[in-house]
Amino acid sequence: MNQDARTLTLAEIAERLGARLKGDGERRVSGLATLRDATPDQVAFLANRAYLKDLPQTRAAAVLLAPDHGEACPVTRLELDNPYLGYAELSRLFDPLAGRTPAGIHPTAVVADDVRLGENVAIGPQAVVESGVELGDEVVVGPGCVVGADSCIGPGSRLHANVTVCHGVVIGHRAILHSGCVIGGDGFGFAHDGGRWHKIAQLGGVVLGDDVEVGSCSSIDRGALGDTVIGDDVKIDSQVQIAHNVQIGDHSALAGCVGIAGSTRVGKHCMLGGGVGLSGHLTIADGVQVTGMSLVTNSILEPGIYSSGTGSMDNAQWRRNAVRFKQLDDIARRLSRLEKAGRSS
Protein backbone atom coordinates (compact mmCIF):
# COMPACT_ATOMS: atom_id res chain seq x y z
CA MET A 1 0.00 0.00 0.00
CA ASN A 2 1.43 3.35 -0.94
CA GLN A 3 1.13 6.47 1.15
CA ASP A 4 -1.68 7.74 -1.02
CA ALA A 5 -3.80 4.67 -0.37
CA ARG A 6 -3.64 5.44 3.36
CA THR A 7 -6.45 7.89 2.99
CA LEU A 8 -9.65 6.36 1.75
CA THR A 9 -13.07 7.72 0.97
CA LEU A 10 -15.99 6.34 2.92
CA ALA A 11 -17.36 4.96 -0.33
CA GLU A 12 -14.11 3.07 -0.91
CA ILE A 13 -14.30 1.69 2.61
CA ALA A 14 -17.92 0.65 2.16
CA GLU A 15 -17.01 -1.19 -1.00
CA ARG A 16 -14.03 -2.99 0.51
CA LEU A 17 -15.95 -4.08 3.60
CA GLY A 18 -19.22 -4.79 1.83
CA ALA A 19 -20.92 -2.27 4.14
CA ARG A 20 -24.04 -0.26 3.43
CA LEU A 21 -23.13 3.43 3.34
CA LYS A 22 -25.63 5.91 4.77
CA GLY A 23 -24.16 9.39 4.31
CA ASP A 24 -21.41 11.23 2.45
CA GLY A 25 -19.29 8.73 0.53
CA GLU A 26 -16.85 11.33 -0.80
CA ARG A 27 -15.43 12.17 2.59
CA ARG A 28 -11.82 11.05 3.05
CA VAL A 29 -10.54 9.46 6.24
CA SER A 30 -7.04 8.61 7.33
CA GLY A 31 -7.48 6.28 10.27
CA LEU A 32 -9.48 4.36 12.79
CA ALA A 33 -10.26 5.00 16.44
CA THR A 34 -12.74 4.28 19.19
CA LEU A 35 -16.05 6.11 19.30
CA ARG A 36 -14.74 8.25 22.10
CA ASP A 37 -11.34 9.11 20.63
CA ALA A 38 -12.12 9.39 16.94
CA THR A 39 -11.41 12.74 15.27
CA PRO A 40 -13.41 13.95 12.26
CA ASP A 41 -10.96 12.34 9.83
CA GLN A 42 -11.26 8.91 11.39
CA VAL A 43 -13.73 6.04 11.29
CA ALA A 44 -15.02 4.56 14.53
CA PHE A 45 -16.85 1.30 15.19
CA LEU A 46 -19.48 -0.08 17.53
CA ALA A 47 -19.08 -3.79 18.06
CA ASN A 48 -19.97 -4.13 21.72
CA ARG A 49 -23.19 -2.91 23.26
CA ALA A 50 -21.20 -1.58 26.23
CA TYR A 51 -19.98 1.27 24.09
CA LEU A 52 -23.40 2.29 22.79
CA LYS A 53 -23.30 5.13 25.30
CA ASP A 54 -20.39 6.70 23.39
CA LEU A 55 -22.26 6.74 20.08
CA PRO A 56 -24.29 9.97 20.38
CA GLN A 57 -21.21 12.12 21.10
CA THR A 58 -18.81 10.63 18.59
CA ARG A 59 -16.93 13.06 16.36
CA ALA A 60 -15.93 10.32 13.92
CA ALA A 61 -16.42 10.84 10.20
CA ALA A 62 -18.40 7.62 10.14
CA VAL A 63 -19.19 4.62 12.33
CA LEU A 64 -19.08 0.92 11.46
CA LEU A 65 -22.07 -0.65 13.17
CA ALA A 66 -24.81 -3.23 12.94
CA PRO A 67 -28.00 -2.11 11.16
CA ASP A 68 -30.05 -2.10 14.36
CA HIS A 69 -27.81 0.55 15.92
CA GLY A 70 -27.99 2.80 12.87
CA GLU A 71 -30.77 5.03 14.16
CA ALA A 72 -28.76 6.33 17.10
CA CYS A 73 -25.74 7.28 14.99
CA PRO A 74 -25.17 11.04 14.64
CA VAL A 75 -22.77 10.73 11.69
CA THR A 76 -22.37 8.72 8.50
CA ARG A 77 -23.07 5.03 8.98
CA LEU A 78 -21.29 2.02 7.53
CA GLU A 79 -23.70 -0.81 8.29
CA LEU A 80 -22.45 -4.38 8.55
CA ASP A 81 -23.77 -7.55 10.15
CA ASN A 82 -20.45 -8.14 11.93
CA PRO A 83 -18.98 -4.72 12.64
CA TYR A 84 -16.10 -6.24 14.63
CA LEU A 85 -15.07 -8.10 11.48
CA GLY A 86 -15.39 -4.82 9.60
CA TYR A 87 -13.12 -3.20 12.16
CA ALA A 88 -10.57 -5.99 11.69
CA GLU A 89 -10.57 -5.52 7.93
CA LEU A 90 -10.39 -1.76 8.18
CA SER A 91 -7.55 -1.93 10.70
CA ARG A 92 -5.48 -3.80 8.15
CA LEU A 93 -6.14 -1.16 5.52
CA PHE A 94 -4.66 1.43 7.85
CA ASP A 95 -1.77 -0.69 9.09
CA PRO A 96 1.36 1.45 8.72
CA LEU A 97 3.48 -1.67 8.34
CA ALA A 98 1.51 -3.07 5.43
CA GLY A 99 3.61 -3.01 2.33
CA ARG A 100 6.20 -0.87 4.02
CA THR A 101 9.11 -3.26 3.78
CA PRO A 102 10.77 -2.98 0.38
CA ALA A 103 11.86 -6.22 -1.23
CA GLY A 104 15.55 -6.96 -1.34
CA ILE A 105 18.35 -8.38 0.74
CA HIS A 106 20.09 -5.95 3.05
CA PRO A 107 23.85 -5.92 2.44
CA THR A 108 24.55 -6.92 6.05
CA ALA A 109 22.31 -9.99 5.87
CA VAL A 110 24.10 -13.32 5.59
CA VAL A 111 22.26 -15.54 3.13
CA ALA A 112 23.65 -18.91 2.11
CA ASP A 113 24.33 -19.41 -1.58
CA ASP A 114 21.83 -22.18 -2.03
CA VAL A 115 18.82 -20.44 -0.49
CA ARG A 116 15.79 -20.46 -2.78
CA LEU A 117 14.00 -17.14 -2.81
CA GLY A 118 10.53 -16.39 -4.18
CA GLU A 119 9.49 -13.08 -5.69
CA ASN A 120 9.74 -9.88 -3.68
CA VAL A 121 11.42 -11.40 -0.66
CA ALA A 122 12.77 -8.92 1.90
CA ILE A 123 15.62 -9.86 4.23
CA GLY A 124 16.52 -7.26 6.82
CA PRO A 125 19.85 -6.09 8.22
CA GLN A 126 21.85 -8.49 10.37
CA ALA A 127 19.60 -11.42 9.44
CA VAL A 128 21.00 -14.89 8.82
CA VAL A 129 19.46 -17.37 6.41
CA GLU A 130 21.26 -20.69 6.45
CA SER A 131 21.90 -23.27 3.79
CA GLY A 132 19.00 -25.10 2.20
CA VAL A 133 16.33 -22.62 3.25
CA GLU A 134 13.40 -21.82 1.01
CA LEU A 135 11.56 -18.50 1.36
CA GLY A 136 8.30 -18.10 -0.60
CA ASP A 137 7.06 -15.06 -2.46
CA GLU A 138 6.67 -11.85 -0.45
CA VAL A 139 8.32 -13.33 2.65
CA VAL A 140 9.73 -10.70 5.02
CA VAL A 141 12.61 -11.73 7.28
CA GLY A 142 13.10 -8.95 9.81
CA PRO A 143 16.33 -7.53 11.17
CA GLY A 144 18.33 -9.87 13.36
CA CYS A 145 16.30 -12.98 12.47
CA VAL A 146 17.95 -16.34 12.05
CA VAL A 147 16.40 -18.95 9.75
CA GLY A 148 18.08 -22.29 10.32
CA ALA A 149 19.25 -24.75 7.72
CA ASP A 150 16.70 -26.46 5.50
CA SER A 151 13.70 -24.57 6.85
CA CYS A 152 10.92 -23.55 4.53
CA ILE A 153 8.81 -20.44 5.00
CA GLY A 154 5.64 -20.09 2.95
CA PRO A 155 4.58 -17.16 0.78
CA GLY A 156 3.45 -13.99 2.48
CA SER A 157 4.92 -14.84 5.87
CA ARG A 158 6.51 -12.14 8.00
CA LEU A 159 9.16 -12.66 10.65
CA HIS A 160 9.43 -9.55 12.81
CA ALA A 161 12.79 -8.56 14.25
CA ASN A 162 14.93 -11.05 16.17
CA VAL A 163 12.85 -14.15 15.46
CA THR A 164 14.60 -17.52 15.50
CA VAL A 165 13.45 -20.32 13.23
CA CYS A 166 15.66 -23.33 13.89
CA HIS A 167 16.71 -25.93 11.32
CA GLY A 168 14.22 -28.05 9.44
CA VAL A 169 11.10 -26.09 10.33
CA VAL A 170 8.21 -25.86 7.87
CA ILE A 171 5.99 -22.79 7.98
CA GLY A 172 2.89 -22.31 5.84
CA HIS A 173 1.49 -19.32 4.05
CA ARG A 174 1.00 -15.91 5.65
CA ALA A 175 2.51 -16.73 9.05
CA ILE A 176 3.22 -13.81 11.38
CA LEU A 177 6.00 -14.49 13.85
CA HIS A 178 6.62 -11.82 16.46
CA SER A 179 9.93 -10.71 17.85
CA GLY A 180 11.81 -13.01 20.13
CA CYS A 181 9.77 -16.12 19.39
CA VAL A 182 11.65 -19.36 18.78
CA ILE A 183 10.29 -22.04 16.49
CA GLY A 184 12.03 -25.39 16.67
CA GLY A 185 14.16 -25.30 19.80
CA ASP A 186 14.82 -28.72 21.24
CA GLY A 187 12.05 -30.48 23.11
CA PHE A 188 12.79 -31.42 26.71
CA GLY A 189 13.72 -35.07 26.48
CA PHE A 190 16.12 -37.05 28.62
CA ALA A 191 16.53 -40.64 29.67
CA HIS A 192 17.33 -41.16 33.33
CA ASP A 193 20.03 -43.65 34.18
CA GLY A 194 22.64 -43.95 36.87
CA GLY A 195 21.31 -40.92 38.72
CA ARG A 196 21.79 -38.57 35.80
CA TRP A 197 20.13 -37.34 32.62
CA HIS A 198 21.02 -38.51 29.13
CA LYS A 199 19.94 -36.23 26.34
CA ILE A 200 17.57 -37.48 23.69
CA ALA A 201 18.39 -35.70 20.47
CA GLN A 202 15.24 -34.07 19.17
CA LEU A 203 15.10 -35.42 15.65
CA GLY A 204 11.63 -34.21 14.66
CA GLY A 205 10.70 -30.80 13.34
CA VAL A 206 7.94 -28.25 13.62
CA VAL A 207 5.22 -27.79 11.04
CA LEU A 208 3.08 -24.67 11.09
CA GLY A 209 0.00 -24.58 8.89
CA ASP A 210 -1.26 -21.55 7.01
CA ASP A 211 -2.26 -18.28 8.69
CA VAL A 212 -0.55 -19.06 11.99
CA GLU A 213 0.47 -16.20 14.27
CA VAL A 214 2.95 -16.58 17.12
CA GLY A 215 3.42 -13.89 19.76
CA SER A 216 6.60 -12.35 21.07
CA CYS A 217 8.97 -14.52 23.11
CA SER A 218 6.90 -17.70 22.60
CA SER A 219 8.53 -21.10 22.14
CA ILE A 220 7.39 -23.96 19.93
CA ASP A 221 9.71 -26.89 20.45
CA ARG A 222 10.65 -29.42 17.79
CA GLY A 223 9.50 -33.02 18.02
CA ALA A 224 11.54 -35.84 19.52
CA LEU A 225 10.61 -38.19 16.70
CA GLY A 226 8.01 -36.88 14.32
CA ASP A 227 6.93 -33.28 14.31
CA THR A 228 5.23 -30.75 16.52
CA VAL A 229 2.24 -29.72 14.41
CA ILE A 230 0.32 -26.45 14.54
CA GLY A 231 -2.80 -26.39 12.37
CA ASP A 232 -4.13 -23.75 10.03
CA ASP A 233 -5.35 -20.43 11.43
CA VAL A 234 -4.00 -21.17 14.90
CA LYS A 235 -3.33 -17.99 16.87
CA ILE A 236 -0.74 -18.08 19.63
CA ASP A 237 -0.15 -15.13 21.95
CA SER A 238 3.06 -13.99 23.66
CA GLN A 239 5.05 -15.98 26.25
CA VAL A 240 3.50 -19.32 25.27
CA GLN A 241 5.32 -22.64 25.48
CA ILE A 242 4.42 -25.53 23.22
CA ALA A 243 6.43 -28.65 23.95
CA HIS A 244 7.61 -31.36 21.63
CA ASN A 245 5.14 -33.36 19.58
CA VAL A 246 2.16 -31.29 20.63
CA GLN A 247 -0.55 -31.03 18.00
CA ILE A 248 -2.91 -28.05 17.84
CA GLY A 249 -5.99 -28.28 15.65
CA ASP A 250 -7.05 -25.69 13.11
CA HIS A 251 -8.56 -22.39 14.26
CA SER A 252 -7.59 -22.77 17.91
CA ALA A 253 -6.41 -19.75 19.91
CA LEU A 254 -3.97 -19.77 22.83
CA ALA A 255 -3.72 -16.69 25.04
CA GLY A 256 -0.57 -15.43 26.72
CA CYS A 257 1.57 -17.58 29.01
CA VAL A 258 -0.13 -20.85 28.07
CA GLY A 259 2.05 -23.94 28.52
CA ILE A 260 1.36 -27.27 26.82
CA ALA A 261 3.40 -30.31 27.77
CA GLY A 262 4.72 -32.93 25.42
CA SER A 263 2.59 -34.96 23.00
CA THR A 264 -0.73 -33.40 24.01
CA ARG A 265 -3.24 -33.06 21.19
CA VAL A 266 -5.53 -30.05 21.23
CA GLY A 267 -8.56 -30.14 18.96
CA LYS A 268 -9.89 -27.63 16.47
CA HIS A 269 -11.64 -24.42 17.49
CA CYS A 270 -10.30 -24.63 21.04
CA MET A 271 -9.62 -21.55 23.15
CA LEU A 272 -7.13 -21.63 26.00
CA GLY A 273 -7.19 -18.67 28.38
CA GLY A 274 -4.10 -16.90 29.62
CA GLY A 275 -1.72 -19.00 31.68
CA VAL A 276 -3.57 -22.29 31.11
CA GLY A 277 -1.45 -25.40 31.56
CA LEU A 278 -2.07 -28.72 29.86
CA SER A 279 -0.23 -31.80 31.07
CA GLY A 280 1.47 -34.10 28.62
CA HIS A 281 -0.05 -36.90 26.55
CA LEU A 282 -3.62 -35.57 26.83
CA THR A 283 -6.34 -35.39 24.21
CA ILE A 284 -8.46 -32.25 24.18
CA ALA A 285 -11.59 -32.44 22.04
CA ASP A 286 -12.62 -29.93 19.42
CA GLY A 287 -14.42 -26.89 20.76
CA VAL A 288 -13.01 -26.96 24.27
CA GLN A 289 -12.49 -23.70 26.14
CA VAL A 290 -10.34 -23.56 29.24
CA THR A 291 -10.51 -20.48 31.46
CA GLY A 292 -7.45 -18.55 32.54
CA MET A 293 -4.74 -20.21 34.62
CA SER A 294 -6.56 -23.54 34.84
CA LEU A 295 -4.47 -26.68 34.95
CA VAL A 296 -5.77 -29.63 32.96
CA THR A 297 -4.29 -33.00 33.92
CA ASN A 298 -6.79 -35.32 32.25
CA SER A 299 -8.03 -35.56 28.71
CA ILE A 300 -11.22 -33.63 27.89
CA LEU A 301 -13.39 -35.52 25.48
CA GLU A 302 -16.44 -33.25 25.29
CA PRO A 303 -16.64 -29.66 24.07
CA GLY A 304 -17.47 -27.16 26.78
CA ILE A 305 -15.87 -24.75 29.19
CA TYR A 306 -13.46 -26.03 31.83
CA SER A 307 -11.85 -24.39 34.83
CA SER A 308 -9.78 -24.92 37.92
CA GLY A 309 -8.57 -22.79 40.81
CA THR A 310 -10.30 -20.95 43.61
CA GLY A 311 -10.95 -17.36 42.57
CA SER A 312 -9.13 -14.58 44.38
CA MET A 313 -10.17 -12.89 47.60
CA ASP A 314 -8.88 -10.77 50.41
CA ASN A 315 -5.69 -12.35 51.74
CA ALA A 316 -6.92 -12.71 55.34
CA GLN A 317 -10.05 -14.50 54.15
CA TRP A 318 -7.98 -16.57 51.76
CA ARG A 319 -5.58 -17.69 54.48
CA ARG A 320 -8.43 -19.03 56.58
CA ASN A 321 -9.95 -20.86 53.64
CA ALA A 322 -6.69 -22.21 52.31
CA VAL A 323 -5.99 -23.77 55.71
CA ARG A 324 -9.40 -25.41 55.55
CA PHE A 325 -8.68 -26.74 52.06
CA LYS A 326 -5.98 -28.91 53.60
CA GLN A 327 -8.65 -30.31 55.94
CA LEU A 328 -11.24 -30.76 53.25
CA ASP A 329 -11.21 -34.52 53.05
CA ASP A 330 -11.49 -34.64 56.81
CA ILE A 331 -14.38 -32.16 56.71
CA ALA A 332 -16.19 -34.30 54.18
CA ARG A 333 -15.73 -37.43 56.28
CA ARG A 334 -16.93 -35.70 59.42
CA LEU A 335 -19.98 -34.46 57.55
CA SER A 336 -20.78 -37.99 56.40
CA ARG A 337 -20.48 -39.25 59.95
CA LEU A 338 -22.87 -36.59 61.18
CA GLU A 339 -25.34 -37.44 58.44
CA LYS A 340 -25.21 -41.11 59.40
CA ALA A 341 -25.62 -40.26 63.06
CA GLY A 342 -28.63 -38.09 62.17
CA ARG A 343 -30.24 -40.87 60.16
CA SER A 344 -29.68 -43.47 62.86
CA SER A 345 -30.98 -41.31 65.70
Between CA 251 and CA 248 the distance in angstroms is 9
Q: What are phi and psi of 28, to 5 degrees?
A: -100, 140
- Under rule CB under 8 A, residue 77 binds a second copy: no
- Under rule CB under 8 A, residue 30 binds a second copy: no
Contact pick of 224, 229, 266, 270 for a second copy (by CB under 8 A): 224
Q: How far is the CB of 80 from a second copy (least distance, A)?
A: 10
Q: How far is the CB of 59 from a second copy (least distance, A)?
A: 15
Residue 197 contacts residue 234 (beta carbons within 8 Å): no
- Provide the CA 289 distance to its chain's centre, in angstroms: 15
Between CA 19 and CA 245 the distance in angstroms is 43
Can you tell me whether residue 339 is helix, strand or coil? Answer: helix
For the question of residue 244 being annotated catalytic, the response is yes
- Under rule CB under 8 A, residue 221 binds a second copy: yes
Q: How far is the CB of 310 from a second copy (least distance, A)?
A: 5
Between CA 111 and CA 134 the distance in angstroms is 11
Residue 264 contacts residue 284 (beta carbons within 8 Å): yes
Residue 181 contacts residue 143 (beta carbons within 8 Å): no
Contact pick of 34, 120, 283, 299 for a second copy (by CB under 8 A): 34
Window of 4-12, 69-77, 89-97, 113-121 that interacts with a second copy by CB under 8 A:
89-97
From the candidates 160, 173, 178, 244, give the one annotated as an active-site residue: 244
The number of beta carbons lying within 10 Å of the beta carbon of residue 336 is 10
- Under rule CB under 8 A, residue 6 binds a second copy: no
Applying the rule CB under 8 A, the residues between 189 and 218 that interact with a second copy are 189-191, 193, 195-203, 211, 213, 215-218
Which helix (H) or strand (E) segment is 277 a member of? strand 277-278
Window of 7-15, 17-25, 61-69, 106-114 that interacts with a second copy by CB under 8 A:
106-114
Applying the rule CB under 8 A, the residues between 135 and 174 that interact with a second copy are 142-144, 146, 148-149, 160-162, 164, 166-168
Judged by CB, which is closer to a second copy: 25, or 283? 283
Between CA 116 and CA 86 the distance in angstroms is 37
Judged by CB, which is closer to a second copy: 248, or 261? 261
- Under rule CB under 8 A, residue 126 binds a second copy: yes
- Under rule CB under 8 A, residue 307 binds a second copy: yes
Which amino acid is located at 73 in the chain?
C
Angle at 184 between CA 179 and CA 187, to 5 degrees: 125
- Under rule CB under 8 A, residue 180 binds a second copy: yes
By annotation, the residues acting in catalysis are 244
